[in-house]
Amino acid sequence: MNIERRLTQKADGTLLLESGGKVAKVCTVSEAARTLKRTRRQVYRYIETGLLRPEAKMLGEWLLDAEEVRRAASRPLSVQPLPRGLAPLFPEYDIAALNAGRDRTLVLARVLENGGRADVDWAFRRYSRAELAAFIKEDGARLLGPRSLRFWSLVLKVKPGELPAWRKSIPWDRRDTRSGLMIKRDDKRGGGRRKRVGAAMKKVNSRHGRTLRKLAGGK
């Protein structure tokens, strides 16, 4: 399917890209480099890694969403490696290939769900409170377990979005009842697993309690 695109320039030099009935303000790579205070080569690297997404390519030049570039200028875009200590949280990834900015949603999901105190401390230093609250609101119900979701919602004072209806309909993804089902099954088998679940929950509660006290200013 061919989509007709038309590029126009206003009297003040602003570029407008019309595509599929929508009009967006765009900028060239050179303009983006000036806004970001980076070289053209660095901007092309951002495009290659997905940190910036081009809207179109016309006359051999990538056109970028001007508003996206403006937002990017307000946050660091350089290579942002994760601490090596976080590697156990990402067993299926090469920790050196992850980027704290680009992969923020993945990083926060793993750290807030399974991270220890040092991991959480790093996340609160690396990301602003607004970014953490936005993650809970937009992705918390989808990526965190119910216990972690309630805890971080309390800490960050934000109401998470609802779990999508299609996720609620999947019986093996009903995380609210997972612990209860495990305990009921343990009752029939003798309780061995029940003790392990109880110990794990106690450990999670203790870890989250220490973190909450620290965030509140206590010891």
Letter string b/e over residues 20-49, b meaning 16 or more CB atoms within 10 A of that residue's CB: eeeebebbbbebbbebbebeeebbbebbee
Structure-model confidence comparison of residues 6 and 175, the more confident one: 6
With a cut of 70, say whether residue 36 has pLDDT above it. yes
For 129, list phi and psi in degrees, rounded to 5.
-60, -35
Least confident of 56-60, 90-94, 119-123, 167-171: 167-171
> For residue 201, which phi and psi values (nearest 5 degrees)?
-65, -40
At 169-219, the pLDDT tens digits run 555 444 443 433 333 444 444 455 555 545 555 554 555 555 555 555 555
Instruction: Give the mean pLDDT of 56-64.
Output: 88
Please state the rounded mean pLDDT for residues 7-23: 88
Region of 37 please: left (phi>0), alpha (psi -120 to 50) or beta: left
Which sequence spans correspond to the domains of the chain? 5-73, 84-215
Return the structure tokens found at 8.
Answer: 């126009």
Which class does domain 5-73 fall in? mainly alpha
What is the structure's pLDDT at 39? 86
Q: Which of 38, 35, 37, 27 is nearest to 64 (CA)?
A: 27
Rounded distance between C-alpha atoms, residue 197 and residue 85, angstroms: 26
Phi and psi at residue 64, in whole multiples of 5°? -110, 150
Q: What is the pTM of this model?
A: 0.47
Tokens of 28: 């060239």
